[in-house]
Amino acid sequence: MARRKKIYEGKAKILYEGPEPGTLVQYFKDDATAFNAEKRATVEGKGVLNNRLSEFFMKGLAQVGIPNHFLKRLNMREQLIRQVEIIPLEVIVRNFAAGSMSTRLGLAEGTALPRPIVEFCLKDDKLGDPLVSEEHVTAFGWASQQDLDDMVSLALRVNDFMSGVMLAAGIKLVDFKIEIGRVWDNDFQRLIVADEISPDSCRLWDVETGQKLDKDVFRRDLGSLSDAYTEVARRLGVLPSNVTHAAKPTLIN
């Protein structure tokens, strides 16, 4: 498929105009960033893995009735997605204390939370994606109260699905973030999961050892990020079981 007009470029992905109205082509880059892009690197094969892993999760969500923007994978780095009106919020679901929650609340990393906790952050790199309350969201018009209720419901359904899939692979889903967008069917608005779901947007720990298999490996200089992502893909069946490194992965169709 011919490359089309670039619509947007972020830290890890590029969006191009799609082949049909209402579609986009999402390209996954090999760039790794942390601390609001203050730390940067190129990790060979990362974009390929995240493309395939996000496809795996989005297809799984669709199979259990959770709507999302994924239409089909086009090649090793690109997928066709539905164009949506992104709500300017990151929706974070936490099952265990880690990262900023541990810092804010003085909780030891790995502390099990009483129940899954949903948080919202304003999508604004210049401000460092600050944590915001539901009161902020409705007061500033980023989303309505009904939108918020629907977003929480969607996020918790994603959490149920993801937690089960990961646990079956021996992985603990510590937390994750998603983006949600609006789509319109005539005059009727629906909210659907958008952006991506990959180790870039989740905290994933080995159930037995606590080994980190997510972007914290890069944030904290804990080893090879490509090895960590490859291990996730291998356990989920996206990679053949004999593959040990993602530099030039051979992926299962």
Please enumerate in sequence order all residues whose Cβ is within 8 A of that of 84, keeping only pairs 6 or more positions apart, or say none: 69, 181, 182, 183, 192, 194
Per-residue pLDDT 10s for the chain (253 aa) are: 455 799 999 999 999 999 999 999 999 999 999 887 788 999 999 999 999 999 999 999 999 999 999 999 999 999 999 999 999 999 999 999 999 999 999 999 999 999 999 999 999 999 999 999 999 999 999 999 999 999 999 999 999 999 999 999 999 999 999 999 999 988 889 999 999 999 999 999 999 999 999 999 999 999 999 999 999 999 999 976 555 444 444 444 4
Strands 89-96 and 171-185: antiparallel
pTM: 0.91
143 contacts 151 by C-beta, under 8 angstroms: yes
55 contacts 77 by C-beta, under 8 angstroms: no
End-to-end CA distance of the chain: 19
